[in-house]
Amino acid sequence: MNKRMVAMLAAAGLAGTIAGAAPLKVQQVGGDAHWVAHLDVEKLWAGPFGGLLKNELATSPAKAKIDAVAMIFGLDPYKDIRGLTVYGQATGERQGVMLVDAKLDQERILTFLRAAPGYASKAYKNSTLHHWIDEREAAKDAAAGDRWGAFHGTDLIVVGNTEALVTAALDVLNGQRSALKAGDQIGGYPVDGTGAILMAAVAMPAPPPADAQSPAGADQRAMILQNVQGLSLRLVETGTTLDLTALLRTKTPETASFVEQLLKGLQAFGVLSQGKKPALAQLVQAITINASGTDVKAQLVYGSQDLITLSRMLKPKVHVEPAPEPAAATAATEPAATPAPEAKP
């Protein structure tokens, strides 16, 4: 979601940047979802990496923005924002809905929201829908600027790019539309965030049929996409170590073996291309890739402090132009002008 949005979307943007959610509540996710992602930053802040991240934010340029949004909405970003879940039926930038579970002053949010461009409200069953326009996005694409949101109860905000996405999400929350159940799967993987800081499950969409005139490389990519069913992602923290594991479900062991070799080739290329950044090359090299049956597993186990140190090293250096010398000082250093010779009679 776009952090430039006002009011509810600004709060949601803050959640997406610095805060997160309590454990995933599958009953809040539509039963027809083809993808879901969940962030549990209550768990993040409670761990060693969260402590290091807080210290980094306290001294980063982002601190001023965090403080400003916190002041506007009257919240403690490390305690009051509890829930962040995004899900959708189709892939695409504007195809998902976001649920933010937070301790917020709704009237305070509405005060800012009503001043947003294109603001309007309408009733929907027992809820009120709020519509506004993100002018920067609308300047690129009118449809991309539409924003819809609603409050559900006292602590849940629903935000989406279309009215249909938000109303469908409200129906799920109100038990008027089917929801996921414990043990349900997406893309062949269980939708379960237990113990994870971050989790995602994706059912890969069916690709278009390969063109007979496509190059050989394109045919290989199409073959891979046609044989990939799902993706799972989990980030957990054990002690001072982060473990990021991605699983790719394919239709056949042969496809899994092919994808394994392809990913290992990309990994080798990534290591070689980071010759001037040995720390980043070491990070890429630390990823293990293995195929087992129809699954391909890519795993990165990395120290929390090492990751923070690496992020510092990769920050772009800000070039500061030297300030021009004062005019008086410049004049004082210039040689005095030679007077013109007097004209002789």
Mean pLDDT score across all residues of the chain:
81
Q: Which of 294-303, 313-322, 327-336 has the lowest mean pLDDT?
A: 327-336
What's the pLDDT at 218? 54
Residue 326 DSSP label? P
The answer to whether 237 touches 304, Cβ cutoff 8 Å, is yes
Q: Per-residue pLDDT averaged across 73-102, rounded? A: 84
DSSP 325: P
Nearest in space to 188 (alpha carbons), one of 243, 245, 228: 228
- Which of 121-130, 215-224, 282-291 has the weakest average pLDDT? 215-224
pLDDT of the residue at 233: 97
Count the neighbouring beta carbons within 10 Å of the beta carbon of residue 156: 19
DSSP assigned state of 200: E
Which of helix, strand or coil describes residue 51? Answer: helix
